[in-house]
Amino acid sequence: MASVLTDRTSRAVNTYTYTSRPRALPCQRRRYRDNFLQEEEPMRYGNIMYDRRVIRGNTYALQTGQLPGQPDPLELQRQQQAKRRALARKRAQEQLRPRTPEPLEGRKHVDVQTELYLEEIADRMVEVDVECQTDAFLDRPSTPLFIPAKTGKDVDTEILEGELFDFDLEVKPMLEVLVGKTIEQSLLEVMEEEELANLQAMQYAYEEIRNIELAEVQRLEEQERRHREEKERRKQQQWEMVNKHKETSQKIAARVFAQRYLADLLPSVFSSLRDSGYFYDPIERDIEMGFLPWLMDEVEKTMEYSMVGRTVLDMLIREVVEKRLSMYENKENKHQSLRPKDEHGGPGAMRDPPVGYGFQKQSLSHTQKPLLDRDDQRMSYDGGPSQERKYMEEGELLGQSEETAIRKSLGKEEL
């Protein structure tokens, strides 16, 4: 809102003037409590681009509606109505608002100030006028020389007699001290250097000695180590030797012991194998397995034969006795029918040898079963009838002949 008056044309070139309408400064700070004078005009500034008062668009067409600055009549009406309503409401509220009750009869309400400091309330405003005037006819005086105001403080001193010092006098002790110190320092430094050099020399000498000694020590150590290693090696050797010796003696002892312990091994092995039957006398075994069974079989066979022979003999004897008995019986019935009996006897007698033969065959076959195969071959059926004939002879002659026949048969078998 500052309006810069262009008064430049009327005044001198370098003058600057500024005027503005008197206004209260827009200070944001609130001066007083609850400042009621807040409804000032807010600062209205805005972007012109978005200002509604600026007409945009085509300006040649008819504008419908109101200009943005002016209110719409409808709107106006509404606003007026709203205002009226608000007013009415306000009035109503004011009426409803609790007020102080009306004063009683004969009384009057009086306003009283209750604040701490009383205030004179008067209608009259305090006004102060101030004027100033410039003389119209005076010339403008020349500007005075600008002498800036003196700032700062002036201070001065006064030197009285005898207050200044004599430099040479004063300086002397200081100088002495300085020089002396310097010289002393340098002397010290030189001494130090000398001392250092001495030390250096001593150290060097010492180091030489030390090196020599170290070398000596090392040599001695080497010697010691060599001795020790030698000793160790010798000890080791000795120990190994002793060990070996011990081992050898143990081995020898073990061998001798084993020899002694197992001295009886072979004989005992052989005797145990013999006892368990693995080693047998081959001749004995052969006799046992080969000869004796054969012998036993032969003996068995022979005994069988004799048994058989005896059985057959028994049978024959029985036959003969039966025949004799029947003949004897027949003798009684001789007068009756000799012929038929004879015939009977004839075929009966004829039948006997075959019967006997058949029986013998059976018994022979009996005896043949347990015999070995080779005996079968030898015992051919050719031998049968000859034996039968012999047995037949036996049947005729009892006793001795039987035995001779048996012996004969035995002899035949032994062939």
Partner 1 sequence: MDVTTAPHRIPAEMPQYGESNHIFELMQNMLEQLLIHQPEDPISFMIQHLDRNNDNVPKIVILGPPASGKTTIAMWLCKHLNSNLLSVENLVIREFPSLTAETRKHYQKTKTVPSTLLVRLIKERLAQEDCIKRGWILDGIPETREQALMIQTQGVIPRHVVMLSALDTVLIERNLGKRVDPQTGEIYHTTFDWPPESDIQNRLVVPAGISEMETARKLLEYHRNIVRIIPSYPKILKVISADQPCVDVFYQALTYVQTHHRSNAPFTPKVLLCGPTGSGKSLQAALLAQKYGLVNVCCGQLLKEAVADKTQFGELIWPFFEKEMAVPDSLVVKVLSQRLDQQDSIQKGWVLHGFPRDLDQAHMLSSMGYDPNRVFFLNVPFDSIVERLTLRRIDPVTGERYHLLYKPPPTMEIQARLLQHPKDSEEQVKLKVDLFYRNSADLEQFYRQAVTLNGDQDPYTVFEYVESGIINPLPKKIP
The region that residue 155 occupies, defined by phi over 0 for left and psi between -120 and 50 for alpha, beta otherwise, is beta
Of 255, 344, 374, 407, the residue at the interface with partner 1 (CB under 8 A) is 255
Minimal distance in Å, beta carbon 290 to partner 1? 12
The smaller minimum CB distance to partner 1, of residues 177 and 263, is found at 263
Torsion over CA of 272, 274, 278 and 280, rounded to 10 degrees?
Answer: 180
Told to check if 123 binds partner 1 by CB under 8 A, we report no
The smaller minimum CB distance to partner 1, of residues 268 and 362, is found at 268
Alpha-carbon distance 258 to 248, whole Å? 15
**Residue 14 gets which letter from DSSP?**
T
Among 122-130, 251-259, 296-304, 403-411, the segment contacting partner 1 (CB under 8 A): 251-259
Told to check if 248 binds partner 1 by CB under 8 A, we report yes
Which residue is listed with tokens 């030189």? 190
Please state at what angle helix 292-332 crosses helix 400-414, rounded to 10 degrees. Answer: 150
Minimal distance in Å, beta carbon 257 to partner 1? 5
- Secondary structure (3-state) at 274: helix
Told to check if 209 binds partner 1 by CB under 8 A, we report no
Among 164-172, 284-292, 343-351, 391-399, the segment contacting partner 1 (CB under 8 A): 284-292
Q: Which of 134, 164, 139, 413 is nearest to 301 (CA)?
A: 413
Told to check if 280 binds partner 1 by CB under 8 A, we report yes
| Tokens encoding 308 | 């058989």
Look up residue 174 and give its amino acid. M
Told to check if 252 binds partner 1 by CB under 8 A, we report yes
The smaller minimum CB distance to partner 1, of residues 204 and 261, is found at 261
Q: How far from the centroid of its chain's Cα atoms is residue 83's Cα?
A: 86
Told to check if 289 binds partner 1 by CB under 8 A, we report yes
Minimal distance in Å, beta carbon 378 to partner 1? 25
The smaller minimum CB distance to partner 1, of residues 80 and 248, is found at 248
Among 12-20, 26-34, 101-109, 243-251, the segment contacting partner 1 (CB under 8 A): 243-251
Count, residues near partner 1 per rule CB under 8 A? 29
The smaller minimum CB distance to partner 1, of residues 257 and 291, is found at 257
Alpha-carbon distance 40 to 27, whole Å? 12
| Contact string 256-275 vs partner 1 (x = CB under 8 A) | xx--xxxxxxxxxx--xx-x
Told to check if 291 binds partner 1 by CB under 8 A, we report no
Minimal distance in Å, beta carbon 353 to partner 1? 38
Does residue 312 contact residue 412 with C-beta atoms inside 8 Å?
no
Angle at alpha carbon of residue 35, lines to 29 and 41, rounded to 5°: 80
Alpha-carbon distance 208 to 213, whole Å? 9
**Residue 291 gets which letter from DSSP?**
I
Of 70, 81, 186, 250, the residue at the interface with partner 1 (CB under 8 A) is 250
- Residue 384 dihedral angles phi and psi, to the nearest 5°: -60, -60
Told to check if 108 binds partner 1 by CB under 8 A, we report no
The smaller minimum CB distance to partner 1, of residues 191 and 252, is found at 252
Told to check if 163 binds partner 1 by CB under 8 A, we report no
Among 20-28, 63-71, 163-171, 282-290, the segment contacting partner 1 (CB under 8 A): 282-290
Among 119-127, 280-288, 294-302, 316-324, the segment contacting partner 1 (CB under 8 A): 280-288
Look up residue 11 and give its amino acid. R
The smaller minimum CB distance to partner 1, of residues 265 and 317, is found at 265
Q: Which of 386, 347, 393, 348 is nearest to 364 (CA)?
A: 386
Does residue 309 contact residue 391 with C-beta atoms inside 8 Å?
yes
Told to check if 243 binds partner 1 by CB under 8 A, we report no
Q: What is the DSSP string of 120-147?
A: ---SSPP---------SSSPPPPPPP--
Minimal distance in Å, beta carbon 251 to partner 1? 10
Q: Contact positions toward partner 1, by CB under 8 A?
A: 248-250, 252-257, 260-269, 272-273, 275-278, 280, 285, 288-289
